[in-house]
Structure 1
Amino acid sequence: MPGKLIYLMGPSGSGKDSLLQLASDDLLANGCRIARRVITRSAESVGEDALGVTAEAFARMVEEGAFALHWQANGLSYGIPRQIDDWLASGLDVLVNGSREYLPVARQRYPDLLAVLLVVQPGMLRQRLLARKRETAAQIDARLARNASFVEADDGCVTIDNTGRLEDAKTRLIDLVMDARRRT
């Protein structure tokens, strides 16, 4: 029986990378792999477990069919390696760090995916974005406005609130993955 694709999304500052890092051992122990993204910026600069490549290398990888999923957002290119198809076919669940705007395309390719939206209360999200010191106040306001439109959309996503303790979000994520496994 094939595995389930868990498509995790959330705005910058919501704590996706921190959540994935904290939950990785438990996910692995429960038959769920976390796909390592390919991104056109240095992964070290964002604390994400990703492979940083040049725009040219990324374009070549797209041409060669290296990605199961790929998209552009915020001036960057993101790709999920085709390896996830092998994992899914072998019965493993796979968690990917996806894009909310790309969700409809991902659903076309993987109709049974579990869409999970990590949410954070706007005041806390603003604080986190300001603390990163990567964007201007105007850019942060634009991100918050964009986030509000996604949170209000009824797109069948399961939500995890990460405003509070990261451990609570981890528990909710593990429960969702285990529940998805029981249903397949």
Structure 2
Amino acid sequence: MSGRLIYLMGPSGSGKDSLLEAARERLAERDCLIARRVITRSAEAVGEDAIGVTPTEFDQQEAAGSFALSWRANGLAYGIPRQIDDWLAAGQDVLVNGSRAYLPEARQLYPELIGVLLTVEAAVLRERLLRRGRESLAQIEQRLARNAQFDAASAERDGLHLLDNSVSIERARDNLLALIGASRTCA
């Protein structure tokens, strides 16, 4: 039996990286691996456990077919290493930190992917973005406006599972694990 691709999405600042770190050990117990993204952002940047590369290095890796998934957003390039295909073929579930805008392309490549949209209340999201300090106030407002376009109806229409991360990280982690477990029984 092949593994399942779990495609986690959410607005910048929604806590995807914190959630993944909180769930890492329990996911490993369930034979679910978390793929490290390759990003054209310094590896020393606060936040995600990613592999930082230059734009030139990214382009070279992409041209060489090193990525199973790759996209550009917010002035950065993101790639999911091709290694996930080996993990999936070996029957392991793989969780990736994806992009809402790239979801249609990801579904073409992995039609059975399980889409999970991390949501967070607008006030909580604003506070997290301000505290993080990566963007200007204008950029934060743009992110909040873009996030407001995604609602429960559009998520349901797109076949996504909604996961609220306005709650404690432990509760969000437990809800993620329950969602992954429930989708296993439905598969």
Q: Equivalents in 1 of 2:52, 2:9: separation in Å?
A: 20
Q: Equivalents in 2 of 1:134, 1:183: separation in Å?
A: 39
Partner in structure 2 of residue 179 of structure 1? 182
TM superposition score normalised by structure 1: 0.96
SS in 2 for 1:8: strand
Q: Deviations over 1:134-175 (max 9, x none)?
A: 222221111001011123523211011011101111001111
Whether the 8 Å CA contact 1:93–1:181 is kept in 2: the answer is no
Partner in structure 2 of residue 69 of structure 1? 69
Superposed CA RMSD in Å reads 1.1
Q: Does 1:160 align with 2:160?
A: no
Q: Equivalents in 2 of 1:129, 1:138: separation in Å?
A: 11
Q: Equivalents in 1 of 2:151, 2:101: separation in Å?
A: 12
Q: Equivalents in 1 of 2:46, 2:98: separation in Å?
A: 16
Write the mapping of 1:98-109 to structure 2, written as runs, cut at 5 A: 98-109=98-109
SS in 2 for 1:111: coil
Structure 1: tracts of 5 or more residues without a match: none
Whether the 8 Å CA contact 1:30–1:178 is kept in 2: the answer is no
TM superposition score normalised by structure 2: 0.95
Opposite residue 146 of structure 1, the aligned amino acid is R
Q: Equivalents in 1 of 2:138, 2:55: separation in Å?
A: 27
Partner in structure 2 of residue 7 of structure 1? 7
Q: Equivalents in 1 of 2:185, 2:35: separation in Å?
A: 21
Q: Equivalents in 2 of 1:47, 1:140: separation in Å?
A: 17
Which among 150, 172, 176 is matched to residue 169 of structure 1?
172
Structure 2: tracts of 5 or more residues without a match: none
Q: Does 1:116 align with 2:101?
A: no
Opposite residue 168 of structure 1, the aligned amino acid is R
Opposite residue 142 of structure 1, the aligned amino acid is Q
SS in 2 for 1:70: strand
Q: Deviations over 1:96-149 (max 9, x none)?
A: 000000000000000010000000000111111111122222211110010111
